[in-house]
Structure 1
Amino acid sequence: MIKGRMILVCDPNELWNTNIESSFDFVCLYLDKKVVLTAGKRDGKAVVRLDRRHVSEIDRSKLHHVTNGPYKGLVINKKSHCLENGDPAEARLEFLAFLVNKEHNNEPVQDFWTLRFWFRGKPDGITKKRTFSQYFQDLMSPDDFPKNYMCFMKKAMVLMKTYLLIKRVELEVEQVTKVQSPEATPPIKSFVSLFTPDIYQYNFVPEISMTTKTFLTFMIKAKCDAHIALSATYGELHKKTIEIVIGAENNSKSMIKDGVEGSVRADALTANVLSGNELRYFWISWGSNKIEVGRGAHYGEGKFLEWYLPENKRFGISSLAVATDNSSHGQFEFAELMEVETDYSKKAKKSRMKRQIMWLAKKQRILHCMEDVYPNTLSVQDLLQQQAGGNVDAGTLVMMMKELEKSQHVREVEVGRWLRVQHEIHYGSGHEMKLVKDLPQLTGREQPTIAIVTSLYCEKLAVDAMIDDKTTFVKYKTEVRRSFVGESQVYTVGTIGRFKVVSTKLSRHPTSNQSARISAENTITRILGSFNKVEHVLLVGVASGVPNWGNCSKHVRPGDVVVSMTTERLDPMYVHCAKIDNESRDKSYIYSTRSFTCRNKTLQNVAMSLESIVKTEWRKPRPWDLFIEEGLVALDKQETSFKRPNNDKILRIMKNDDGTEVLYEHPISLNKPDLRLEVPNICFGAIGSGRLITRTQSVRGNFAAYHNVKAFDLDFEAVLESLDGNRNESFLVIRGISDYKDGSTRDWQPYSALTAAAYMKALIMAL
């Protein structure tokens, strides 16, 4: 395939004159699903139709052959003299093919090919476009390019078996009388159709990239009232939108409006400009600070509308949406030039591989951003502002989101707003996820008595893996606000042992500390208000550890678990530093802190009892080790690996002054038999927080020694304040260690979250 040309060494009449029986063996029909080939003529053109049909839908009177062996599941019908048109195609491709007639001295022949596609179900436009584009690429791949027509049709059938989304493909061929030179061959064109009902409701067209265009050519079939909206933001038509109406007022008038249903800025009489029986060409231009609309396939000709944009109405167009009015349903067809790979050199393959890696990396950044704000949603504009896609335009970003939705990583809960999905297939049977507007009413016995609060997405997954008989409720608010913080809530209700528990996740605002604080406070208030039987609260997740390179018994390793307790029971469990003053005389630090502890010591007593039992029976497997293994099985289908990393032999720690890194080896003691090196150990101490004290190692070390701090978390002071304000008297902070810096090392976060969750389960089981 080169610039839309296809070369087949064969007689063009071979397709219709070949005895198909010589190519396929006849066997009995016994499979439920078949790809059925029917060849025939329509409007003087040769047509081959490939249908995906159930065995009961096949007309046996038309049956010619059924294949077996490597081609099992392919059916060939008898030749049809007249193929009916059927439903309009949902997508099509057009290109010129060069052939060589081997029976006439290899003289060149040129055919005009049209490939039409129909799809199963109701896939979105981007999914359709990617599916038929990839099908065409595979069909025309030079690695195994067919040598003649019969091989070409056979390959088309075999490929259709693997493209399950495609319901029907039609290949239409028309011989061109005047052969063009290869240099004059037009590029391959792809067409995507969108069908609109007789309801004035806009459908966005994300598969058409608008950010790189200044005009668009398309076709419309409708009796009247075809609406086209050009917008600056995908999913948003209330601001920065220009509406074009073609064939308004019973197909007699067309106009340009300032916004959807806004003021008319330009109009023209256009009697019978639309047709309900045929597709007609139109074009729209938005370059040079003016909107132009015309009829015909050639941009710039047949103009009938024009509006010079005032300065306050000039904005970039990044989104397209279409609709028809209550008086007519419609069909819109959009054409784009298809990019076909022509360079198969090693250099080109490396370049394509690099692009694919970058594409995957950008999608991963988007997922991380979605996970931070979960259970709240993000719009395209939100993602662009946070640069989650990394130098991508709105159209490309929408395409990425559609791909993530297809792979069930996100869900588009409103047009242009996506939610990260905790899908039940990741947990196996027994786990449901429900999107609700209001939480169901729980009876007394169904009410949880233990609440578990997490901050990171991997923490929520790890905690939920410890819960049995669980159901996840996402309470999503449909109104779109400027700030999404605190709008939605997620609760997973289930059991651990004999206790009913509920887990939730804080939404982390990526740019505003104040918004994150408000969100955390609201989350605690809501969970304690919604589940008023909650007695104990566990804050479970990851943190950065405080190392002690000279004392093995006091050293904290990545993967270890720190529990917010001190040897002196009245000492604070959690210490937040809000301000640091430097005493100039002795170069010491003065900290302004707030300490938190709880009156009810039930959780602390159970933790001490559990520790005593483990020390006494140190040769036996510890309960949390077993729960880690169970969690790894439950989380095996996650795209993030929760397995223990193997890079903990030597760990990096930042120096105090210039931020450079030095390497330290973990201390080892042969005199401490209960210390285990390849599995998590449990450490007791206060948890510290505060962004100021995590900046340098000297301040961290000084603060940790003074307050007996074993770990620094991601700043849960707002959560502790909210617990205090809601008069909760029993809480415990459980932190898995992921690094020695700020807890953000992603390769250790999942495993450390799992170790913390496993200890949490052991603690609850021992209550």
Structure 2
Amino acid sequence: MSNQQYQPRGAKEYVVLIPLHKTSTINIVLIERRKVADITDKNILHIGSGRNVDFIIYKNSQPAQQDNEPVQYVSQFKVFMTDKKTQELHQENRTLRLWFYNLTKNQCLSDANELIRSLFKTDEFPRDYFSFIKRLMELLRMFARIRKIELEIQTLDKNTLDIDHPIKQYVSRLMLYDNDYLSEMYEKSPERYADLIKEKLLDLLEQAFPNPMFVNDLAKYVECDGQTVFQYLVELEDKNLVKHLDQDGQQWTRVIIAAEEEDTHKVILYKSISELSSSFQPTIAIITVNYFEKLAVDAMIENKITFVRHKAGESNVYTIGTIGPYHVVSTKLPLI
């Protein structure tokens, strides 16, 4: 379907939400930009107000328009939800499908990555359905080159619940870092205390990756003096676990590949997305938020090359290669 559609005279552009399909386990909605002339349409359920005056929610799928253009970007992730009434935990697959205006594949990938990054900001991530969908509508309004977003939410059966999800282990590790516990450990076993601080430094750099962190910020997180933190970071660097990015050794990041992979896994530093070779045209994008997830995905990728840009608050990492017959790209979003 052409982007240049006939629009009624006097029509105003809105961000509209259209329910497409709903069952007991699957819910699919469409969020798109659309010119709307008649806001008294009986199919309109709600019109936003205030700063969301350009939002329209439809009652049913009747306003949906035929579109034969293939999906240009897909992202899938799992979330754990708790029923407020029963306190039961259930797991969902959420899939985002994106369509763009006339953009190159690199431009599509860049915009999609920025949208996902904005969606997954830890201080703003929506905690319920309404907030999640509203956030997607806000992001579509913000990213003018994205034409529409389709959201599919699939509730998984209890028998398929991933009860061994790494988040449990991760939370357990974080609980070890209680300040009283660390103080007691420092008095009883300074060596064990040092190991715990180093482990926490690794955790922090993994959460922030691909963004680097400064020594003074790390020191605040672990409640330790900067000189000691710097000493521990140097020890971790000797083990090829972290590396410094500046001459003063104040900016640090997690190492993305092990030393034994250096001959088979090339890492290229770049400054702009436009520098990425046009010959790399992945058809599948895999987005992770945890460092260990990124490593697990990369382990499945063959003929891989990783592109990294280090820029405070705006770092990116892309690993491009193949999984079977598919050309894929994996990336990681920072959690700090």
TM-score (norm 1): 0.22
- Bigger-Rg structure (1/2): 1
Give 1 or 2: higher helix fraction.
2
Q: Which one scores higher on RCO, CA 8 angstroms, separation ≥ 6?
A: 2
